[in-house]
Amino acid sequence: MQYFPIFVDGQKLDVLVVGGGDVATRKVELMLKTPAKVTVVAPSLSKTITELKQQQKIQHIDGRYDKRLLVGKQLVFVATANRELNRQISIDARAAGVLANVVDDPELCHFITPSIVDRAPMIFAISSEGNSPVLVRYWREKLETILPQTMGKIATFAGNQRRQIKQQLDSITKRRNFWEKFFSSARSEQPDQLEPLYNELIAKVENNQLVTGELYVVEAPLQPDLLSLAALRHMQKADIAIYDDGINGAIIELVRRDADRESVTSEPLIQLDGLLKQGLRVCYLSSRPLNHQSELWQKIKHNNYPVSAFSSANDLEV
């Protein structure tokens, strides 16, 4: 990963756009989706930028680029047809500590802008690091058809309830379980059902209810593509992953991002039992084929924890 993906608070951005044509217009419109302050420097402007200027949505400097315009800026978009000027702006920006994006010239860029699927406050950003714009466009179009238009309303509703959930549920595990149950309901995609669904689920919450650990045993294949969808889904639910030596690092990376990870010890049963007693959802990535007759497997079943097992080709519920 050459480019590190981050989301920057638009309220803290003061942005310079050099150029006033169609390409600059797209960058201005993109930045105006955020609360960023936008200044355009160009001797002439497109119709759209002219209208934005008249609406006082941007500041316009009628003239040519000067490196003093970089003072106080955090980002600069360079959209001129003069490559020598573009190169000089990139050099000036680096010296001034300002990140520069030179349109259609990755060599001069300090950052790139991804393709965006906007369901604010849910934002999905896609990038091929400049390698395949057509592939990025293909997946953006695909996501546009998959992600419901109501997702922004759903995220906003959930955000408004976070304080109450934190007060009412006394552990991260219980809060996560609540939200997983909420979002897995088909009703959560219907804005008029959000509050009734939430009220129904919150009424059933019991803080004194014991959180039971769960074990997901995944027979790890050589390549990530051979994992079953069911295995991937459970890997994404895990609180912690333990793994045998020799497991492909790309497979370990598919475990939920904020889950803990540790290698298996010489006493795997003791290790698993200790984690499950804490009420954790444990994913065990095994380098060996699943053997339901093994001593380890029989001892795990004997302890009566909920166990799901997944081979690289098929998943087997235990």
Q: What is the mean pLDDT of residues 280-287?
A: 90
CATH of domain 11-113: 3.40.50.720
Q: Output the pLDDT for position 170.
A: 82
- CATH class, 214-317 region: alpha beta
pLDDT of 211-264, one tens digit each? 678 889 999 998 998 998 889 988 988 899 999 999 999 999 999 888 999 999
Q: Where does residue 102 fall: left (phi above 0), alpha (psi -120 to 50 degrees), or beta otherwise?
A: beta
The whole-chain average pLDDT of the chain stands at: 89
Q: Output the pLDDT for position 303.
A: 67
Domain ranges of the chain: 11-113, 115-147, 154-203, 214-317
Handedness of CA 186, 189, 195, 199 (dihedral sign): positive
Distance CA 229, CA 249 (A): 18
Task: Report how far apart, in Å, the C-alpha atoms of 245 and of each of 48, 249, 275, 288 are.
Answer: 59, 10, 19, 10
Distance CA 84, CA 103 (A): 13
Of the candidates 289, 278, 295, 283, which has an alpha carbon nearest to the alpha carbon of residue 256?
A: 283
Query: Per the structure block, which two tokens stand in for 156?
Result: 């906003």
Q: Output the pLDDT for position 44.
A: 95
Q: What are the residues facing 37 on neighbouring strands?
A: 14
Q: What is the mean pLDDT of residues 272-298?
A: 80
| Architecture category of domain 115-147 in CATH | 2-Layer Sandwich (3.30)
| Res. 314 pLDDT band, cuts 50 70 90 | very low
Task: Report how far apart, in Å, the C-alpha atoms of 89 and of each of 15, 70, 76, 239 are.
Answer: 14, 9, 9, 47
pLDDT of 125-166, one tens digit each? 999 998 899 999 999 999 999 888 899 999 999 999 999 999
pLDDT of 76-93, one tens digit each? 999 999 999 999 999 999
Q: What is the mean pLDDT of residues 110-116?
A: 93
Distance CA 218, CA 121 (A): 34
pLDDT of 163-212, one tens digit each? 999 988 888 878 888 998 898 887 888 899 999 999 998 888 776 666 67
Of the candidates 56, 73, 85, which has an alpha carbon nearest to the alpha carbon of residue 17?
A: 73
Q: Output the pLDDT for position 313.
A: 55
